[in-house]
Amino acid sequence: MDELNQGKSLSEGDVVTGKVVKVEEKHALVDIDYKVEGILPISELSNLHVEKITDVISEGDEVTLKVKKIEENDDESEVILSKRLVDAEKVWEQLEDKLANGEVFEAEIKEVVKGGLVADVGLRGFIPASHVETYFVEDFEDYKGKTLTLKVIELDREKNRVILSHKAVEEEEQAKQKQDVLEKINDGDIVEGVVQRLTDFGAFVDIGGIDGLVHISQLSHEHIDKVSDVLSEGETIKVKVLSVDRDSERISLSVKDVLPGPWEGIESKVKAGDVIEGTVKRLVNFGAFVEVLPGIEGLVHISQISDRHIGTPGEVLEVGQSVKVKVLDVSEKDKKISLSIREVENDQNKKEIEQYTKEQDQGTFQLGDVIGEQLGKLKE
């Protein structure tokens, strides 16, 4: 046996090494080279709850224990031993080192209790509910049996208090990821992100550890009234980095710049001679700008507004008015479309005249047939 066990004197607090000679339901007997075998109660096996003694020790095991209590009577003596106290001493030293060094370690969640979780760190380590995750968790039942990465945030030996945090580990990791992104990302990069939050003025998008802002004006080539009309929280999107301010940790993003431009392929959508409907968007001295497709405005020159002479476009048009226009010319390269209202009206007038003339010709032909037929009958 260990030298500490030699001799017949034994005091409370002594650390001894002994051999397990018998395991019973509620305790084990340990030969510590003393006049009586020491009693190791199940409650002194571990700082955590133990269902069966054999889950921790077996007959024949050599164990290091602390003498918790000695009762000497005339006829008999009783020595109560503790494995829990020996283990606790080592664990306290280890935990103090972890706290001092900010070490991250893993531990299994053993219990879900009121206000948080209990982890096995050799002692009962408590993780308050507010320190489980960086976000709110409603039900902790799924955590039982899981292994979490943790940090020690508070220790108190006198009160036997060990406070742990998984949230602190996550926040540290997030901060590291944030810095990594800030160092690597550059203006013009196209990256994938997840929409985190919608506001009146835009959307915040997580691009791998840091949120960037997509202003509402950068959501679409078209005018957007509400951000929720085009984006949803949790949606994965591609964005272009417009600017990175590493000092203030601000990143400006654009969805619009990764979408096809409104002028892209316009010549296959609109051709010279097409008559289409549009909305008057702006009136200027030399004409009117009419939106014919989302984000596409064409110019109706003042000379193409009406057959009659007008001084200003405002004499016959107003903003918001729907008009039919004829496409005179389209250029994707120059991003220009020339339009005419006058030609639509002229074409319509020509069509009406042609239709009227056709009807007149048909009417004359039918009248002649009737007169001829009647004359024929008279000759008979």
pLDDT in tens, 280-301: 999 999 999 999 988 889 999 9
Please name every residue paired with 185 in a beta bridge, in sequence order, or none if there are none.
none
Q: What three-state secondary structure class fits 205?
A: strand
Token pair recorded at residue 237: 């999107």
How many angstroms separate the CA atoms of 288 and 284, rounded?
6
- How high is the mean pLDDT of the chain? 88
Comparing 87-101, 140-154, 310-324, 363-377, the range with the smallest average pLDDT is 363-377
Q: What three-state secondary structure class fits 159?
A: coil
Q: How confident is the model at residue 268 (pLDDT cuts 50, 70, 90)?
A: confident
How many angstroms separate the CA atoms of 215 and 264, rounded?
23
Quick one: which of 293, 274, 304 has its CA closest to 335?
A: 293
The pLDDT assigned to 2 comes to: 45
Fold of 3-84: OB fold (Dihydrolipoamide Acetyltransferase, E2P) (2.40.50)
Q: Are strands 296-301 and 190-199 parallel, antiparallel or unpaired?
A: unpaired
pLDDT in tens, 206-258: 998 899 999 999 998 888 889 999 999 999 999 999 999 998 999 999 999 99
Q: Is the pTM of this model over 0.75?
A: no
Amino acid in position 87: D
Those residues whose C-beta lies under 8 Å from the C-beta of residue 256, and which sit 6 or more positions away, are 218, 219, 220, 221
Quick one: which of 156, 36, 48 has its CA closest to 107?
A: 48
Quick one: which of 292, 288, 296, 301 has its CA closest to 332?
A: 296
CATH of domain 185-258: 2.40.50.140
Q: Please, where in the chain does CATH 2.40.50.140 lie?
A: 3-84, 102-170, 185-258, 266-344
Q: Considering the domain 266-344, what is its CATH architecture?
A: Beta Barrel (2.40)
Fold of 102-170: OB fold (Dihydrolipoamide Acetyltransferase, E2P) (2.40.50)
